[in-house]
Structures are given as C-alpha cells and as structure tokens.
Chain A
Amino acid sequence: EDQVTQSPEALRLQEGESSSLNCSYTVSGLRGLFWYRQDPGKGPEFLFTLYSAGEEKEKERLKATLTKKESFLHITAPKPEDSATYLCAVGSYGGATNKLIFGTGTLLAVQP
C-alpha cells in the first residue's frame, strides 16, 4: 500500500536557523512527489514537483530534494513569514490517475 510519512510533526526555529523537513514515501512506482504550503484557514498552495531521484528544485529560501525513498524540504535562513504547514504528497503508477496521497504535514513556526 502506498504511504507517505512526514517528520517532524512540528518544528520551531529561530529566524535565520536553517533546517530540513522530511517526507518518506512507499509507492509501487513514483509518478511524482509534490510539496505544498498551507497557511491557517487557507487551502494548500503548490510549491514543487519532483519526478526522479537526484532532482532538486529551489524557490527563494526553500529547496526540495528527492531520493528513491524520501524527499527533503530544506529551509535556509528562514523568516517568520515562512511559518506554515508544509504538506508532501505522492502520485504513483500503481494508483489511479490524479489521485495523490498526502502526508499529515509539518507545522513550522519561525520566531523572530
């Protein structure tokens, strides 16, 4: 069965303190791994798609990487506005088209 596990559940950082969020996955065949950001009271907002091991994507202070078993979302010198819940999702060739499996998210709090 396809599964996605995110860790840690919550992370508190000081402004400027870099860290990483983890997304471990088990799928029959990875079609794509997706990162989303979700602010309180809002819907998830798309950040990145990664398709193959070794691939990396960057956006401002965020960098997503992918291996055959997990993905990391690296946050460099975070600012308070980076505070949000970060969601990971995977699509697999074993599953039906367009059905993504989501992790439970990492709640990130960046303190000034």
Chain B
Amino acid sequence: DAGITQSPRHKVTETGTPVTLRCHQTENHRYMYWYRQDPGHGLRLIHYSYGVKDTDKGEVSDGYSVSRSKTEDFLLTLESATSSQTSVYFCATSGVTTNEKLFFGSGTQLSVL
C-alpha cells in the first residue's frame, strides 16, 4: 500500500481563520488529489496535482487553494474557513502506470465553528 500521511487527523477551528491541511506520500506517485467527503454527497474532488507546481481545480474548489512544491507533499489551504467547509478531507495519490487506481490517506476531520 502507498504510504500516505495526512496531518492533522482532527482539527477544530473558528469561522474566518485560515487552515492548512498536509498530505505526505512516500511512493513517488505523480498525481495527488484532495477530496472532501460529506453525508449524501460522496467523495468530491477539490483540487488535484499532476506534478510539482502543476495543479488544477476539481468540482468543489471555491474557497480552497493548493500547493505542491515537492513530489511528496501536497497542501490544502482554506483561506478563510466557513462552517460549510466542515467535512472529512482525504488526500489520495495515483502513479503513472496505474493512474486510475487511487490510494487514500486516513483523512482529516475538520470542524469549523
């Protein structure tokens, strides 16, 4: 299994504060993704990266930004957190030859009060 570490695992923050979630992978996978998972909506793609400094938007990107300065690290930032961004966030990766098979981290539970 791919080594994907997300931090923090849990976070409680207040509306209007910036929040950064971190994802670190040890598999040298090219593609990295941020998803959010909410009841009734399934997993929805926020942003993804297809290489260092190469990122693109997913279906629910408003209010989020990402950065990838190294192959192994992918950061998700909520510029000004809102209660609607309370969710479980998952990082995922996929390699070059099996780029459709996603490997997921254990998730970050974020609560915005």
Chain A interface (Cβ < 8 Å from any Cβ of B): 4, 31-32, 34, 41-46, 49, 87, 89, 91, 96-100, 102-105
Contact = CB atoms under 8 A, between A and B. Distances in A.
B104 to A, nearest CB: 3
Contacts of A96: 56
Nearest to B6: A43
Given A45-B104, A105-B42, 15 more contacts: A31-B100, A32-B100, A34-B100, A41-B106, A41-B107, A42-B107, A44-B90, A49-B101, A87-B42, A98-B48, A98-B94, A100-B100, A100-B102, A102-B42, A103-B42
B41 interface: yes
Nearest to B58: A99
A51 to B, nearest CB: 9
Interface string B87-106: 00010101000011111111
B48 A87 contact: no
A108 B33 CA distance: 27
A44 B43 contact: yes
Q: Which interface class (under 10, 10 to 19, 20 to 34, 35 or more) fits B?
A: 20 to 34
Contacts, number: 55
A98 B40 contact: no
Given A41-B106, A43-B106, A98-B94, A34 B43 contact: no
Contact of A43 (B58, B100, B107): B107
Contacts of B19: none
A86 B104 CA distance: 14
A44 B102 CA distance: 9
